[in-house]
Amino acid sequence: MRRIAIMTAGADAPGMNAAIRSVARRSFELGYDVLMVRDGFEGLVRGDIEIMNKKTVSGILPLGGSIFGSSRVSPEFAVQNLGKIRDVLESNSITTSVIIGDRSAVAVAAVLDANSIPCVVVPNTIDNDIFGTDFSIGFDSAITTISDALDKLHSTASAHHRVMIVEVMGRQSGWLALYGGLAGGADFIAIPEQPVPIETLATHLKQRKEEGKDFSIVVVAEGYPVAPHESTVAGRPVAGYGLAEALASTTNLSMRVTVLGYLQRGGSPTVFDRLLATRLGLAAVNAVREGKSGILVGEVGQRIAFTDLREATTQPHVIPADIVLQAKTFY
């Protein structure tokens, strides 16, 4: 008899509950026992585990966040607690863990796999920075939030003739900035992958002003390299304010900054994310049934794809060059 543990790990993202539901429903269909792990890897170490039934996942499809709770830990945490993790899994007769989470969760899962602890990962992060899948669950919901925010900011930027700097998440990747900015009609998009001189952006904004366009929307990823600013979050310079400060010194334009922050991670998942979570959750359990482990379950070219966790951990998920080129048409 297979006994599957389900946990959500890393930063929360819309669609986690939809993925939980899918994994559980397919497992029930196959006659597997299903156990929930509360609070991710921290809960696993504590042994905070409970048997699930169909009622556990009833009505959770549209809910944001995770009904299990989540935690973000490092691979070192897993190394230090391997003995406890083994004991908890063995005492509960768990044969495989299905981990729904972000890039940090993939890295921890890779440690478990390297130590012969069976696991399968379902990628769930708004950053869309996990190799092995075209899109991670939660990304579509986040860019929908960003584009909705830009729609609203356009009216106030226009009314007051200002440059609105909108900072979105993405410490190492510009997926959110690029896709959200394109969908929301941004006038310039600044991503870490392709930084430009501040003079280039200043010139662009001034040219818009000369052309009679008396407001602009600039979307910047939080990891975009700009001069340090006194405003910080968790000790990190805030890219939006740093960019506004740099532009203020080279233009006479009125600047305002909006940091969308955790709004991007909240709320109900979009239809796309619900469907993606359903597909990947089903595929994860089917992979377990086939005896697979140590893999990330993704969707590449609308087909289910399996990627070794070590590769998923070490390879970057690069924005397609043609998308970057297409975006430049609009600024």
Residues tagged active-site: 127
- Cβ count within 10 A of residue 87: 13
All residues at 6 or more sequence positions from 302 whose CB lies less than 8 Å from its CB, including other chains = none
- As given in the structure block, the two tokens for residue 236 are 């990190």
Task: Give the DSSP letter of residue 177.
Answer: H
All residues at 6 or more sequence positions from 141 whose CB lies less than 8 Å from its CB, including other chains = 13, 14, 15, 126, 267, 268, 269, 270, 273
Annotate 243-254 with DSSP letters as a single string: HHHHHHTT----
* Alpha carbons 127 and 130: distance in angstroms, whole number: 8
Helix (H, G, I), strand (E, B) or coil at 303: strand
- Cβ count within 10 A of residue 298: 25
- As given in the structure block, the two tokens for residue 214 are 């008396």
